[in-house]
C-alpha cells in the first residue's frame, strides 16, 4: 500500500495502478474489521460463560478456536494472494467472515459457538491479503513506514473491537457484538466489490497449482533462515500477548477486582498510544534495519511482564500496573511485528503471499498456544504464573537474538 500522500505511478510492482486516498482508507478499514474480529471475543469471555452456563475456562475456548481457525486461514487462503486477483479474494473472505459471525451470534451452545468461531478465524484473513499487496506498491526504503501506517489501522480495529464488544456485551448480551460485526463485514464486502480495482495485481506472481501453493510455505521455512528467525520472535511475543489478554478478562472479572466485561475493553484503549508509536517504529526499521527494533521489542516484553505482575495488588495500584504493563506489551508487539514483516518481505518479493502464510501461521500457532497455556497457568497458579510465562517466552526469543 502506498502512503496517503504518494502513490506509485507506474511499474511492475504496482501493475501500473496507483492508490487513491479513499482506497487507502478503505483497505485500512478492511484491516481494522478483520483484526477486530479476532480480538473482540477476548473481552466477552465471562459474558459467554454466564450466557451459556459454562465455566469461564471452557468459554475461553472460543478465543482459542478463533485463533486456530485463523491459523488455518493463513495456510489455506493467504497463499491465493500470489495466484488470483485481490478484489474477488477480499470480497469472498469478507463475505464468508460475515456469515460465520452471524452463525456465531445465533449459536445455541458452546460447541456450535466454538465451531462458528473457528470459521470466523478461517475467513478473517483480509489484513494478510492486503499486507503483501501494500509491500509490492512501495519502494523498499519506505516499506517500514507504509506498513507501520497500515498496522496502525489494524491496531485501531483491535482496540476498538475490545472496547466495543465489552461495552455492547454488557448492555445487550454477548450475542450483540457478533451480530454487529457480521453486519459490518457484509457491508464492507459489498463496498469492496465496487471500490477495489479489478486490476490488482495486473498478473499473478505465480501460476502454480493450489496444492503446490499450500506446500510452498513449508519449503520456504526450510530454505530461509531469516524467515525462521522472524517466525520464532513473533510466535514468542504473540504467545505472551495472547496469554496476557485472554487471562486479563479472568483477572478483572474475578474476586481481585470484581469488574464487568466492559473493564477489559476500557483497559484495551490505553493501547491507542501504539497508533502513534507504530509509524515511528516503521521509520526506525527503514533507517536501522529490523534487528535493533527486535531487540527493543523483546526487552519491552520482559519489562511488561514485570510490570503486569503487580496487577495482583488489586485496587488503584494494581490497575495502574495493568494499564502500564498492557501498554508496554502492545507497543512491543507492534514494533516487533514491523521488524519481522519487513525482514520477511525483503526475502522474495514474488512470494510475499506464501511468505506471509509461513510467518503468520507460526505467529498464530504461538498465539493459540499462549492463550491455552496462559489459561492453564492462571487456573492452576493465578496471575503471577501468567506473567512468568510471558517472561519465559521473551527470554527464549532474546537468547536466540543475542546468539552469535
Domains along the chain with CATH numbers: 21-402 (1.20.1250.20)
Alpha helix stretches (DSSP H) within 40-142:
45-52, 56-59, 61-76, 86-105, 110-123, 126-135
DSSP secondary structure string for all residues of 233-298: HHHHHHHHHHHHHHHHHHHHTSTTT---THHHHHHHGGGGGHHHHHHHHHHHHHHH-HHHHHHHHH
> Which letter, b or e, does each residue of 132-158 get, where b requires 16 or more Cβ atoms within 10 Å of its Cβ?
bbbbbbbeeeebbbbbbbbbbbbbbbb
pLDDT tens-place values along the chain, 404 residues long: 333 333 333 333 333 344 566 777 788 888 888 889 988 888 788 889 888 888 877 888 888 899 889 888 888 888 887 777 778 888 999 999 999 999 999 999 999 999 999 999 999 988 888 877 666 666 666 666 667 767 777 878 877 887 788 888 888 889 999 999 999 999 999 998 888 776 555 555 567 778 888 888 888 998 999 999 999 999 999 999 999 988 988 898 888 888 876 676 677 677 777 777 777 787 888 888 899 999 999 999 999 999 999 999 888 899 999 999 999 998 999 899 989 988 998 888 777 778 888 898 888 789 889 989 999 999 999 999 999 999 999 999 999 999 87
- Residue 93: strand, helix, or coil: helix
* Of the candidates 272, 48, 38, 265, the residue with the CA atom closest to the CA atom of residue 164: 265
| N- to C-terminal Cα separation, the chain | 35
Residues whose CB falls within 8 Å of the CB of residue 165, separated by 6 or more in sequence, listed in order: 40, 41, 43, 44, 177, 261, 265
Distance between CA atoms of 392 and 390, rounded to whole angstroms?
A: 5
Secondary structure class of 382 (helix, strand, coil)? coil
For residue 270 the three cell numbers come to: 490505553
Amino acid at each position: 500500500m502506498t502512503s496517503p500522500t504518494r502513490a506509485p505511478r507506474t511499474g511492475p510492482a504496482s501493475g501500473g495502478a496507483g492508490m487513491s486516498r479513499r482506497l487507502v482508507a478503505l483497505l485500512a478499514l478492511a484491516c481494522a474489521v478483520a483484526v477486530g474480529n479476532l480480538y473482540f471475543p477476548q473481552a466477552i469471555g465471562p459474558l459467554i460463560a454466564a450466557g451459556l452456563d459454562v465455566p469461564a475456562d471452557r468459554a475461553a475456548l472460543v478465543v482459542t478456536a478463533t485463533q486456530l481457525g485463523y491459523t488455518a486461514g493463513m495456510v489455506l487462503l493467504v497463499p491465493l494472494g500470489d495466484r488470483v486477483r485481490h478484489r474477488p479474494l477480499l470480497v469472498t473472505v469478507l463475505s464468508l467472515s460475515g456469515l460465520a459471525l452471524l452463525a456465531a451470534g445465533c449459536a445455541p451452545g458452546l460447541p456450535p459457538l466454538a465451531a462458528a468461531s473457528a470459521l470466523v478465524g478461517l475467513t478473517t484473513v483480509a489484513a494478510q491479503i492486503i499486507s503483501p499487496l501494500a509491500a509490492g506498491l512501495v519502494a523498499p526504503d519506505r516499506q517500514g513506514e507504509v506498513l507501520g501506517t497500515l498496522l496502525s489501522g489494524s491496531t485501531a480495529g483491535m482496540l476498538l473491537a475490545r472496547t466495543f464488544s465489552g461495552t455492547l456485551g454488557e448492555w445487550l448480551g454477548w450475542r450483540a457484538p457478533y451480530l454487529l460485526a457480521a453486519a459490518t463485514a457484509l457491508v464492507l464486502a459489498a463496498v469492496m466489490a465496487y471500490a477495489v480495482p479489478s486490476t490488482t495485481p495486473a498478473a499473478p506472481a505465480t501460476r502454480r497449482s493450489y496444492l503446490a501453493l499450500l506446500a510452498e510455505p513449508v519449503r520456504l521455512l526450510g530454505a530461509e533462515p531469516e524467515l525462521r528467525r522472524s517466525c520464532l520472535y513473533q510466535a514468542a511475543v504473540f504467545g505472551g500477548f495472547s496469554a496476557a489478554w485472554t487471562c486479563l478478562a479472568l483477572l478483572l472479572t474475578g474476586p481481585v477486582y470484581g469488574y464487568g466485561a466492559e473493564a477489559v475493553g476500557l483497559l484495551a484503549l490505553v493501547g491507542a498510544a501504539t497508533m502513534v508509536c507504530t509509524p515511528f517504529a516503521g521509520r526506525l526499521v527503514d533507517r536501522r534495519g529490523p534487528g535493533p527494533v527486535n531487540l527493543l521489542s523483546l526487552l519491552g516484553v520482559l519489562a511488561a511482564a514485570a510490570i503486569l505482575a503487580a496487577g495482583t495488588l488489586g485496587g488503584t495500584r494494581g490497575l495502574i500496573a495493568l494499564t502500564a504493563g498492557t501498554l508496554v506489551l502492545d507497543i512491543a508487539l507492534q514494533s516487533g511485528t514491523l521488524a519481522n514483516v519487513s525482514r520477511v518481505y525483503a526475502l522474495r518479493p514474488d512470494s510475499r503471499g506464501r511468505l506471509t502464510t509461513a510467518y503468520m501461521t507460526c505467529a498464530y500457532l504461538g498465539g493459540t498456544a499462549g492463550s491455552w497455556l496462559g489459561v492453564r497457568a492462571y487456573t492452576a497458579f493465578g496471575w503471577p504464573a501468567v506473567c512468568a510465562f510471558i517472561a519465559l517466552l521473551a527470554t527464549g526469543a532474546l537468547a536466540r537474538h543475542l546468539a552469535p
